[in-house]
Amino acid sequence: MGHRLSRIVTRTGDDGTTGLSDGSRLRKDAALIEVIGTVDELNSVIGFAESQQTLVPLREELVSIQHDLFDLGGALSMPGHAVLTQDHVAALEAVVAAWNADLPPLKEFILPGGSAAVAALHVARTVCRRAERRLLSLDDDRTATARVYLNRLSDLLFVGARLAAEGRERSWQPNRRHS
């Protein structure tokens, strides 16, 4: 493969537009560019979350997800290109089922936090939910599987946060301050 990013400063976006893979240009605030940017942000926060983890299976899965998200961002930048597959969704579902199998049932909502590893996964989960909402705003049939993927990914990040907590989750206590 040749050098993809030989010039970083191109000045082509100085007019408030950005290029798609087919050479067309869109305003940087266009709905599609907002989705691509949010998926990129999600990839970055997942990278940060991965850097905070001590459990190897969790770290490895987060890196695999980062590759999926690069695939998603690239596919979104190619008009008419299909975005992710049912196999991507099935892989996430299998991981969620495996990780969740040994966790105790939830009795209350979980407070995000308790450690950097847990908090980082909850931040990633909320950015994932935003990416899902942005993707929905496209109202594009080619993104249907990607929407499901992001929905499952937020589930995986939640279960991953529970796993990373290693039994030290903090449960929400309704009206705690006023009891």
Give the pLDDT of residue 30.
86
* pLDDT less than 70: residues of the chain: 1-15, 17-21, 26-28, 179
Give the pLDDT of residue 5.
58
Give the pLDDT of residue 171.
83
Give the pLDDT of residue 108.
85
Distance CA 166, CA 153 (A): 20
Domain carrying residue 61: 27-166
Distance CA 111, CA 88 (A): 29
Number of domains in the chain: 1
Distance CA 77, CA 83 (A): 10
Whether 17 is in a domain gets the answer no
Whether 97 is in a domain gets the answer yes
Whether 20 is in a domain gets the answer no
Question: What pTM value is reported for the model?
Answer: 0.86
The CATH number covering residue 33 comes to: 1.20.1200.10
32 within 8 A of 22, measured Cβ to Cβ? no
Give the pLDDT of residue 52.
97
Give the pLDDT of residue 21.
67
